[in-house]
A and B are shown apart, each in its own frame.
Chain A
């Protein structure tokens, strides 16, 4: 094989590679751009803590470049956070304990909110007079940031588990009640009339018309409630609690252990993403029977 043909073949294959690369990039543009941006931010962040930028710009800016070297208690760094996370999850294992403590409060509060909010919303949607009666309370509570009740809850229930369950309940119950209410109100009146004229009882009507058409609203309310509940966990715990992820964040913050604060925040991010993902799975399963609109 002559040298020139080999060179040409390499050229061709390089061209082909370029085209393939471009195609690959275009197909995964979102992943590539998003991923590289995240990577860039992580590197810049790490660089501030390790003083890479300070050293790099030293010749240009002189001694003022050292201002770019930031103290770890101020910003921590990705590697420090990773190390702290490993330590807390797998060496000492303290994080599992906090996580368990927070989850118990979270799920109790959420369950209570569903147990109260859904029947309340259904009843208010069904009985017009009841909705008139509870409406002022619901709309006033809805406009209020419900965490203002925290000092009162602490007076009533102390700073233990029950206070936390109460604040999570308070935050999560409104979206559930309101969306259930809206669900009943927006049920197709023709369906109700048809069922009625075929002599369906209230119970049958509820099971076979109202409940199925209310499910998407219920799930939407639940999705809002999941987010509100997370606020409840964090706020309830940072305001006065001995255990839980929020309490851990609070204590670490007070001691300027920024690495541990970040580990806590990221744990909550992960939990939030996971819960929303789970709910979406449920939503898809529940909605399988519905003909596509």
Chain B
């Protein structure tokens, strides 16, 4: 049930992304976006809505420019980025082998299943107060939240990748007396790569969520901390700039993973 959840979500998303690029689409999409920015700016400038609440694109850009020259901002950015990187890479390093092992060995799956399912049912950010008690409010509590957020979806979809490997291929390999190792490396592993990437993309979203929530909740540095501070002192411009940065980071991570996936899938005769 849980794997289906991950897969269906991402297949719906990729259906969205697979629309062909057409001039009309770019024109309408870009036009709407421009219109949105203009209306936003007009609302703030005309005084219909207090800029304290909604800021405005020009104010956000100005405050972003000011922040760029602030050393503290770069520090915050570095802290957030390293929390994300450490937690996410550790999650991938643990979850891919774990998912493969759990997928391959039935008994291991029975042993670990209850824990994986329980963790999957709970938003891992719920554990934040506990993690703060254990690891304090420094960078490591955020790394732990990022790790927990990403590790479950990656492990679950890797596992389902192992389960869906083509049984015909395995039977052919068996009848040509391929060893278990050989079957694993030539059939099961390549077959589960697309599933791994599904999990990795989903996990990246969860990891970013972990960074944001962890830093909003309790931190001494980081972009989320900066946004929480700015929010408390009603500096809406800075909050919006933070939103923009996280948006950019999300888009960047997804684009990177897409590129990586294409690289790994190049050998496949007909691309999906």
Contact = CB atoms under 8 A, between A and B. Distances in A.
11 contacts: A38-B114, A132-B24, A132-B28, A147-B213, A148-B227, A151-B230, A152-B236, A152-B239, A182-B12, A224-B8, A272-B121
Interface residues of B, number: 69
B57 interface: no
A63 interface: no
Interface residues of A, number: 71
Given A258-B133, A261-B130, A223 B5 contact: yes
Contacts of B125: 231, 234-235, 238
Interface string A154-170: 11100000000000000
B251 interface: yes
Interface stretch (B161-169, B173-181, B242-250, B261-269): B242-250
Contacts of B15: 182, 185-186
Contacts of A37: 110-112, 114-115
A175 B5 CA distance: 11
A115 to B, nearest CB: 19
Contacts of A134: 32
Interface of A: 29-30, 33-34, 37-38, 41, 73-74, 129, 131-145, 147-152, 154-156, 175, 178-179, 181-182, 185-186, 217, 220-221, 223-224, 227, 230-231, 234-235, 238-239, 246, 249-250, 252-254, 256, 258, 261-262, 264-265, 268-269, 272-273, 276, 280
A149 B243 contact: yes
B4 to A, nearest CB: 8
B107 interface: yes
Nearest to A135: B29
B95 interface: no
Interface string B191-235: 000000000000001001101110011000000100110111010
